[in-house]
Amino acid sequence: MKPIKLKINTKTQKYSIIIGSNLITNISKILKENSINFKQCLLIVDKNISKQFISKIKRSLNKKKLYVHFFKASEMNKNFSNVNKILDILLNKNFSREDCVISIGGGVTGDTSGFAASLFKRGLKFINIPTTLLSQVDSSIGGKTGVNTKYGKNLIGSFYQPNLVISDVKFLKTLPKRELICGYGEILKHSLIANKNFYIFLDKNIDKIFKLSSPFIEKAIYESCKIKKSVVEKDEKEKDLRKILNFGHTFAHAYEASLGYSKKLNHGEAVILGMQSALSFSLKNKLIKKNDYYSILKHISKANLPSKIKKFFKIKDLNKILSFMAKDKKNTSNKINLVLLKKIGYPIINKEYKKNNLSEFIKSELRN
């Protein structure tokens, strides 16, 4: 199957996302085709990436001056200390703004590398090679970069668009099923907020997608990216419409933070649980059509996705969850701002609820 190209046009940057198989053996050619030139580059590589992939990338970039920095990717390591290590290398090797940082890894690697790239001399070239399904359909599009602090997730960061994204599905074949589920959560979210036909495609082809069968996996990634592209192009800095991409995320980020970003619950699983909570809350407040609600629940069950928060939390965790929800960056008052669903393809933004409304709701979810 020929690589698929998707062009992103934001106010600050125009760039392409290339989706296909075995792309990393042709990086030099892809750079040339996309008019990207640089003399030296720093590869920031997730330590989990196999040496075989790194060798292929290095071979493909053999005409460039290369430096490699290995990064132990985890939410705990997405911090200022690791950004400083990257900046230190760039300063030490006298990189210019015309040189390049290439991130090779999942969303944590991309967020950390992109943030460092945005800070160095106020911005140098940045190429993202996302290696997980989650990063290929989510964090690699839209230019959000940042780090976590003890106050919460992604509260320090910048909007910094890449110069190019190369999504090679070959990386996905090395991932455990749990990692694929993690990415699938965002694919499902995109279909729910924007495109009922895409949701029907997913519902029909869920098994083929999880088996990474071509062309189903490429189509799922492409359609998912296309939805995020259309939102980001209209609202790059998340002033209004882009908030729809946070469907389920107010709950999800609070679930992750309440568990201290532990391995018990990864980001994609938290998003699936968060969407489930947002859907139930939509139903409780008579916002969503019942047939859509039950169709989505059936899909989540058919795909064996995580669906019950009581597997991860007890009543004693309630105040911790609510406190993180209250700190969410979408909130503009002392109420909690949620993105909810009216029907498949029709989200509702800027719905505000008092803390005690959500307290009662989460309590009932933990009991059911």
pLDDT tens across 74-83, in order?
A: 989 999 999 9
CA distance 247 to 341: 8
> Is residue 312 a contact partner of residue 259, using CB atoms and an 8 Å limit?
yes
* Least confident stretch, 76-85, 107-116, 159-168, 321-330: 321-330
Specify whether domain 177-367 bears CATH 1.20.1090.10: yes
Within 10 angstroms of residue 13's Cβ, the number of other Cβ atoms is 15
Closest CA to 177 of 241, 114, 132: 132
Quick one: average pLDDT of 321-334?
85
Closest CA to 271 of 254, 295, 287: 254
- Strand 65-71 and strand 40-46: the pairing is parallel
% of the chain surpassing 70 pLDDT: 100
pLDDT value of residue 98: 95
pLDDT tens across 227-245, in order?
A: 999 988 888 777 778 789 8
Quick one: average pLDDT of 275-300?
96
> Hey, which bits of 96-252 come out as E strands?
100-105, 125-130, 144-149, 152-159, 164-168
Residue 22: enclosing H or E segment and its boundaries? none
pLDDT, the chain, mean: 93
CATH node for 4-171: 3.40.50.1970
Please check the confidence at residue 330 and state whether its pLDDT lies above 80: no
Output 20 or 150, whichever has higher pLDDT.
20
The count of residues in the chain is 368
CA distance 274 to 308: 10
Please check the confidence at residue 340 and state whether its pLDDT lies above 80: yes
CA distance 354 to 321: 14
- Strand 65-71 and strand 336-343: the pairing is unpaired
Instruction: Please give the single-letter amino acid code of residue 333.
Output: S
CA distance 211 to 177: 9
Give domain limits for the chain: 4-171, 177-367
- Dump the DSSP string for 325-365: HHT-TT--SSSEEEEEEEETTEEEEEEEE-HHHHHHHHHHH
Which residues are paired to 70 by β-bridges? 45
pLDDT value of residue 151: 84
Instruction: Please give the single-letter amino acid code of residue 118.
Output: S
Quick one: average pLDDT of 163-183?
95
Closest CA to 248 of 328, 316, 304: 328
Going from the C-alpha of 97 to that of each of 86, 124, 156, 165, 176, the distances in angstroms are: 15, 4, 22, 19, 37
Distance in Å from the first CA to the final CA of the chain:
46
User: With bands split at pLDDT 50, 70 and 90, how would you rate the model's confidence at 10?
Assistant: confident
Output 153 or 159, whichever has higher pLDDT.
159
User: With bands split at pLDDT 50, 70 and 90, how would you rate the model's confidence at 95?
Assistant: very high
CA distance 108 to 127: 15
pLDDT value of residue 204: 97
Please check the confidence at residue 266 and state whether its pLDDT lies above 90: no
